[in-house]
Amino acid sequence: MLKEIDVILNSTHDATIAVDMNGNITLFNKAAEKILGFNEKDVLGKHIEEILPSTRLPYILETGESELNRRQIVSDISIITSRMPVKDEQGNTIGAVAVFRDISEIMDLNDEIYKLKEMQSLLEGIFHSTQDAISVCDENGIGVLINPAYTQLIGLSEKDIIGKPATTDIVQGESVHMKVLRTKKPVKDVRLKVGPRNKEVVAGAAPIIVDGVLKGSVGVLHDLTEIKRLNSELMQAKQIIRNLEAKYTFDDIIGNDELMITAMQKAKQAALTPATVLLRGESGTGKELFAHAIHNLSYRKYNQFVRVNCAAISESLLESELFGYEEGAFTGALKGGKIGLFEQAHGGTIFLDEIGEIPLSTQVKLLRVLQEKEIVRVGGANHINIDVRVIAATNAPLERAIEEGRFREDLYYRLNVLPIHIPPLRKRKNDFYHLILHLIKKFNQEYGRSVEEVDIEALNKLKTYDWPGNVRELQNIIGRSMINMKYSETIIKEEHLPKLFYNDKLQFNKDSRISSRIKYENNEGLKEIMDRLEREVITSALKRNNGNRTVTARELQVSVRNLYYKIEKYAIEI
């Protein structure tokens, strides 16, 4: 029987120490050995206080009272112990026993649990306070957790989501939770419509994996309406800033083709000098972009950048707009006169676009500005000194204009100090792909799309075209192609390219035969017939060139100024 008791005592995880009425150790089991670091044979028969000075077993022997579940530190070990007297049949105390266990691990575990609770509280605080709409589902796709931002966004309560399939709130599109559970991979930027209000959102989700086992999915929704609003506000803010300074830098110019790189290198060199620059190239090649970039790289970048479209201002007003006028200079002049664009650009840069359209009378004054660095207002006599860097641009052959007497040769040499030729799009086919990706990114923001790429067939089709409108025309075609795409499509294909793109040449041939379809009206003379025909030809050409006046003027072999006059004369609207 004693042997069985000994086996039991040495098998238990609780440490047990027993002493006789004199305080000598009579029992010291295996668990006590492990906790206290003594061997049974070394301690049996010794007084308990020799082994454990902090023991309270002598007190138990003296009082005959028990002490239960007391915490005690023994040799840096935290234990929980119960001490009880051992009595004979007459109730006399004949010994005492202590039963205890090491609770150090339990205490460490308790600390970890406390820290986990702190972390849980912190995460719950973040989860419930964040403005991101978050939902969590288990491995079976059942909703287990959502935050207040989620209910506010989609318009459903917790009871509508918790315990329900992850597809419950989806109105249009595939649940990101179910896709994550199926693929075990994160998904992002998925457009969905959710909730009873058909809220349009962008969703992302990631798997919850514990020890290599998929336990669920966590998803985040972003209100696309709010994103669009914020993007609109950002664009407005950028526009306000851009109205105060030049908009673009050389980083905004897309070009890896050798001809384009050469043009940019020359422009960067020109930016570091005060010399007059003449930008030459077809309409839509990016002459204004270069002008902005040159200004922003120059020492004048913190001063005014003034853009003037010389072809868009009527001949009678151009001189007064450029140089200003004094009070009473002409009928309708403002009281006190008006400052000209050259004066506004003082200390900065003036960009004269379509310089070839300036009339000869104004060319004389412009030459004086370039030579003497001074202007005289219309109707005035005082010379006003100005410090202005001139950047001019033209798509017209100025040399031919000189031969025809429409442009001053001396002005030409003053302007042509640093000529920079910007290549047309048809000569930089290597830039097509990068330009298209840049335009896709631009229109994604404007149209709220998520187009990613253009396929090789569509790219090759675009490369076969001559692009008379250059980058401006390419921008028009890419924009229309993206409009032709479904919201779920992410790659521009040949089928998305506008049909008019294929039929441009055919359309032009039809227009060239317009004279064969002239209709004669009653009491209509030759002048009326010619005016009507001219209006039809100009209207058709403008439509074909997407309203681009410069390309239309070149196609019809008239000056841009003459085209503007005829558009106004016939009240043509595009």
pLDDT (tens digit, 9 = 90+) per residue, 370-380?
A: 888 888 888 88
When the pLDDT of each residue in the chain is averaged and rounded to a whole number, the result is 83
Who has greater pLDDT, 48 or 227?
A: 48
Instruction: Give the pLDDT of residue 269.
Output: 93
| Dist. CA 164–CA 169, nearest whole Å | 9
Residue 515 reports pLDDT greater than 50: no
DSSP string for residues in 502-536: HHHHHHHHHHHTGGGG--PPTT--HHHHHHHHHHH
Instruction: Give the pLDDT of residue 294.
Output: 93
Residue 180 reports pLDDT greater than 70: yes
Long-range contacts of 71-80 (CB under 8 A, 24+ apart): 71/103, 72/100, 74/35, 74/36, 75/36, 75/37, 77/35, 77/102, 77/104, 78/102, 78/103, 78/104, 78/107, 79/15, 79/35, 79/103
Residue 282 reports pLDDT greater than 70: yes
Instruction: Give the pLDDT of residue 115.
Output: 76
| Dist. CA 166–CA 441, nearest whole Å | 32
Residue 222 reports pLDDT greater than 50: yes
- Stretch 427-452: mean pLDDT, rounded? 88
Residues 511 and 541 sit within 8 Å (Cβ to Cβ): yes
% of the chain at pLDDT higher than 90: 12
Which of the given ranges, 214-218, 499-503, 553-557, has the highest pLDDT on average? 214-218
Instruction: Give the pLDDT of residue 513.
Output: 44
- Give the pLDDT band of residue 5 (cuts 50, 70, 90): low
| Dist. CA 140–CA 126, nearest whole Å | 26
Residue 525 reports pLDDT greater than 80: no
SS (H, E, C) 363-383: HHHHHHHHHHCEEECECCCCE
- Stretch 373-394: mean pLDDT, rounded? 88
CA dist 119 → 112, 147, 564 (Å): 10, 17, 71
Who has greater pLDDT, 457 or 522?
A: 457
Residue 291 reports pLDDT greater than 90: yes
Residue 407 reports pLDDT greater than 50: yes
Who has greater pLDDT, 278 or 32?
A: 278
| Dist. CA 217–CA 510, nearest whole Å | 61
- The per-residue pLDDT for range 252-277, each reduced to its tens digit, is 888 888 889 999 999 999 999 989 99
Structure pTM?
0.49
Instruction: Give the pLDDT of residue 317.
Output: 80
Instruction: Give the pLDDT of residue 505.
Output: 46
Instruction: Give the pLDDT of residue 240.
Output: 44
Q: Tokens in use for 195?
A: 């909730």
Q: What is the radius of gyration, based on Cα positions, of the chain? A: 44
From first CA to last CA, the distance across the chain in angstroms is 113
Instruction: Give the pLDDT of residue 3.
Output: 62
Q: Among the listed ranges 180-184, 221-225, 434-438, 491-495, which one has the minimum average pLDDT value?
A: 221-225
Q: Among the listed ranges 389-393, 465-469, 493-497, 518-522, which one has the minimum average pLDDT value?
A: 518-522
Q: How far from chain centre, in Å, is Cα 294?
A: 26
Residue 557 reports pLDDT greater than 50: yes
- Stretch 470-495: mean pLDDT, rounded? 88
CA dist 382 → 154, 318, 325, 367, 572 (Å): 69, 20, 11, 17, 42
- Stretch 527-535: mean pLDDT, rounded? 80
Q: Among the listed ranges 83-87, 149-153, 259-263, 452-456, which one has the minimum average pLDDT value?
A: 149-153
| Dist. CA 1–CA 452, nearest whole Å | 84
Instruction: Give the pLDDT of residue 546.
Output: 79
- The per-residue pLDDT for range 91-114, each reduced to its tens digit, is 888 899 999 887 776 777 777 777
| Dist. CA 253–CA 101, nearest whole Å | 77
Instruction: Say how many C-beta atoms besides its own lie within 10 A of residue 424's C-beta.
Output: 20
Residues 297 and 272 sit within 8 Å (Cβ to Cβ): yes
What's the farthest any 2 CA atoms get from each other in the chain? 147
Residues 352 and 391 sit within 8 Å (Cβ to Cβ): yes
| Dist. CA 402–CA 387, nearest whole Å | 28
Q: Among the listed ranges 2-6, 11-15, 44-48, 443-447, which one has the minimum average pLDDT value?
A: 2-6
- Stretch 137-163: mean pLDDT, rounded? 86
Instruction: Give the pLDDT of residue 517.
Output: 46
Q: Among the listed ranges 332-341, 465-474, 495-504, 548-557, which one has the minimum average pLDDT value?
A: 495-504
